[in-house]
Structure 1
């Protein structure tokens, strides 16, 4: 029998052991795993140099100008809540609708949400120009400017969602690690609160855009709903890719029914998104007022200037093709090639839509009637790639450790010995 002092000492050592074992397992893998991390590390290393150049020189090294003040950082940030809020689509079927095939996978959705909130916050730090001055927005230290500023709402919803998912992920994994039952009075309300909170990170982000009344193309009540439709498209697309990779290269079992469920969600998301675009295009273009100028600039250009026209028609065409292809059950059941390829295209097309259609054309014409073109610099591009690379390195290792815990490969050795080696 262990004394009380020994029990307390053992309990205090378990979180340290969990962290150590989790991290050690996360960095172990085969050639393909290390090749993936090496590929991402290349952009991370180059990004360190370009990050230093931006932080020491300023935002003048980006393509931002007096006409277009939002860089690639903002457009990439707007994409991140699309993925982070998709965790709701994993957790809801598991805990609210009691789907047994998704019960164990909910923690993976929460881990994805946690990482993508961090990625989004990193993009905002690059957009700030002087992230060392972010303390000015800390309540009690700086001027938080709540509730008059919409940005403060975004700070709240993002950080609360980050904490909710981080606590949920590591509490769940730790309990599995030590083979102890979870405190449902703590964990279940936490999950339900995270599910209810998830949509807000996209809704509030949409409010940041739609509150700019001077930019007519953003000043629409459809903005939050179109953002949620994009979340229902791009989020499940990435989830499917991750689930397919996990079940191919690990021992974690993921049923076809789970993949089929998210394929159906993408269909509804893309269908709703296409409808949103059609409604918005009609509302803006049919009256033919000056408010439609930014959209017309994206669709057909202006007096020979057509920098965004190819992007517009390519993205819209791809959206429709993706929707039509996913209507076929044969395509949805092609787990080894067609489905992951379409899911990758969904993720990338929603990402590309942000700068090329949503953000950059919206700033033209300026109050002086000028039409501007955004030219991202190589420093800016590599800084964007740096954020994505470091984010996916984090996501890869977090998911690797998570799968290790779920499959029992990462376990508390003392618990195993006490149970005679049986899980």
Structure 2
């Protein structure tokens, strides 16, 4: 049987060559449809959702735990482990192949199991156990450091020795399409003697990827590179919304708090680590060489293209304001997970690790408005003589990401969010 990543595979479900969801991808999500059933697990194929619960009920898909696809999150399936993840993906690929009549020629099962994307509502795909956000792009960290500390002190002394991160709020991780209310908080511009409380005035986005942890690790134990890799179920697009003015006043000495706690948006589809395997690449050279527990023996970055579109409130269409690549990240997701557990921190099924803002070496590759507008001093010029330094009410952000294969692309769909006024 051909491997699910084989570029020659074709599905009997029509898939546009420009689609994010060919048979080589098969990302997992949670959906509901007009049939009245509660949310359950599905896989994206072309412009359809394949209902895994229907296939399980029909006996075409057996994971050894009946009902694992009937629930509203992927956590029970992730708990079954990497060998089962791989076997299930291979079976789904087999059922969808153009030369396999098993599902293709079963008109009734096909009618029940293939739901048009237009008739599906997509939900948050996991129960987020914990959320940690990292700061792992050297270009982003350098840009921010230059802005606030100058060129000679851009990177803090610890940055080149470990992945820097902070614990965020799992409670406000939301699925794409969820409107984001402008946060309120304490504000103290440099000219003010005392802080005030009010709506954020410097609202920003951060272009990130999220690694979804699919296996537990025990409290008190460290992880090897191989163990950490196997624990990662897949990846999502992630927008870590940021209130820059709230953060500026609160972050000393313990880092971001309310400036990040109000919302983090993720895409509804989780692209599996296995689907991304053909696109693995080495990351930037790490100098100085990391301590032994953080050293990598294999490529753990991905050649994954990313872009950001901004639709200002007055605009009808989005304009691209950034295009960059996940391969630029200095610290990989595997290193982030290894470091996270290195103190003995237990990791849980459903933990979400934000990569940190993904910026590249060029100006058009900056993954936040803080960088693009250089802290508000260089406004973005948009169509219709519209300018932006930070986000205004009713502005909408959309991220897209994909890996380009030979005649197909493995994509993530979209993560979108629109800003609504503060109460």
Fold in common (TM above 0.5): no
Larger Rg: 1
TM band (smaller chain): under 0.3
Greater helix proportion: 1
Give the alignment's TM-score, normalised by structure 1. Answer: 0.22
